[in-house]
Structure 1
Amino acid sequence: MKICFFSPYSTYHALLIAYFMSGKQTESYLKKVLRLNEKQAKSDIYAAYKTDKLMTQLLARGAPYEFTNANKIYVSDVVPVRDCVVNDFLEELESKNFKQDPEGSRLDINNWVENTTHHMIKDLLPSGAIDQATDLVLVNAAYFKGIWEQKFNPNLTKQEVFYVNPAKQIMVDMMHVEETFKHDASEVLGAHILEMPYKGDNISMYILLPPFASTEDSIEATLKKLTLENFKSIVENDRLVSKTILESVGVGNLFKDDADFSSLTPKKISVGRGIHKARIDVNEHGTQAAAATAIFSWRMMMDEPVKFICNRPFIYIIYNAKTHTIFFIGVFRYPPKV
């Protein structure tokens, strides 16, 4: 794979909506994998969700960057929905005629995702993903557009060598900027780390650049050590996600026939799989990134100038230090057109 890119934030929120709709054992599985406080009642977690949603909207209004996060609960019009869900998720809930018009419903959902992500994520649900047996589709769409605090000069962008591996070198367009950035070398992660802030003082892109070793894949070695705890300890002193991956982190019976969605409806329904798509565009001006997830049935300053040259595979993370949230994370191995 040339580029691996996804949004933990989008995936988390899709599973969070699944948690609110679930009951009994399924609810217990999701509460654990989402690392929610075991002592907190679902009503308290719902209140925190609504507060977070409101704060995200308020902060976005005056920010120099754009960030939106939206959830949708698409339910078949033949499924009886509990009154509490109708009242509590008025903005998220939408009835769909899956049985008589599955293709039209699929196109409607894809259009909502595309519009919410400013046309970055298209065709989230492939043809045939929704059929007459579909009862429920849970969707999250996240979008971010930031402007570099220190922009790159487009006139300095030029072709330079990118070392894919010791045996392969290619020419790529390399951007250049000479400014003061926070930089560190982490022995824990086995990589040099550079923080590139966006305007607004809360969100930054972190570049993790492992050493270029000829005997092992340095990217893989860093990824094995890259946990949220390790990352936060350094920066402060988050169509890849599939059913198989979600099951491996402990969602239990979410995708099985015995999944419990009794908080949503008294009718017996289940979900079949998850789809995640993400995209990022980076240029001299800034970054535009988006992601959508669907679950459905069916630090230190250096005294001397340092050159930080991303001319080999690296990891990149878009992180909000104020909310301690990883919006997007990816691995760049070499340009996709090569």
Structure 2
Amino acid sequence: MSPELIAVLAVIIAAMAFDYTNGFHDAANAIATSISTRALTPRVALTMAAVGNFIGAHLGSEVAKTVGDGLVTLKPGVPSLGVVFAGVVGAVTWNLITWYFGLPSSSSHALFGGLVGATLLASSLGSVQWDNIVTKVLIPMVASPIVGLILGFVVMVAIMWIFRRGNPGKLNRGFRHAQTLSAAAMSVGHGIQDAAKTMGIVVLALYTGGFQDSPSDIPWWVYITTATMLALGTYSGGWRIIRTLGRKIIDLGPAEGFAAETVASSVLFFNAYVLHAPISTTHTITSAIMGVGATKRLNAVRWNVAGNIVIAWVTTFPAAGLIACGIYLLVRPLFG
């Protein structure tokens, strides 16, 4: 095999490892609220999330193009593939660290941070497209949690007012059924956003290695492979983070779970199809849960837990970048 092919295969394997960790790390995004409200059993919820992620992976081409062609520019060749490899492995490492501590950090921002960090270190091989980083990553990183928080509060207030005279028992049963739909939408939205990011990395590797002429064309096998790995990772579960989102922030009821999932999935779809922005599913659903919980009373939200999560959010981009820099220094000799 040629050095280019070996290097591309190494990046693809690393990307699939990231995709798998993304699945079990972010499984909580789609199903934690449904499990905590007992709308779905854990295994049924994970199965539905895996199927939804598989379907969503085939619908996220615009986000994939943004990741593959819009964040960094690398010179063709094996050395540049070492940059991509280091960025992806940096993201995998950060995913495992935050998963161990049960923190729902953003796999997306870990990937972007790793890629940017390695590219900056290897500045002779490429450059960062800062305009797109600011408009497609940093601004959405700040805006999506704020939007999720506000919309979660507003939607939950609307539900409380509309159903203020309803029978609590019947309403809980109804919202448990409704959560099946909202969790399914959340699963598809997660697939659209997060599988697309891995697809973008694979396409970037193929283009940098000289195996295709465009950094935005996505071969059919990339859809299938990425979707399958994300679905398998999701089905394996991420129980530490599921417990954090489902119980440690606030005790959710069926109505609150439905509101949070509906808000989060709507924000994911809007950003994917209107703005083509690769936003964090983790940030979106977590902030929606906080907004929904705040309608009970402000101290109903365990803000100390929320604070730890926000710290993980803020540190993810630079931490993954630093890890990627260390990995690049280690693997650079292997990539020529």
Judge same fold: TM > 0.5, yes or no: no
Which structure features the higher share of helix residues? 2
| Larger strand share, 1 or 2 | 1
Q: Could you tell me the TM-score, scaled by structure 1's length?
A: 0.26
Higher relative contact order (CA 8 A, sep 6+): 2
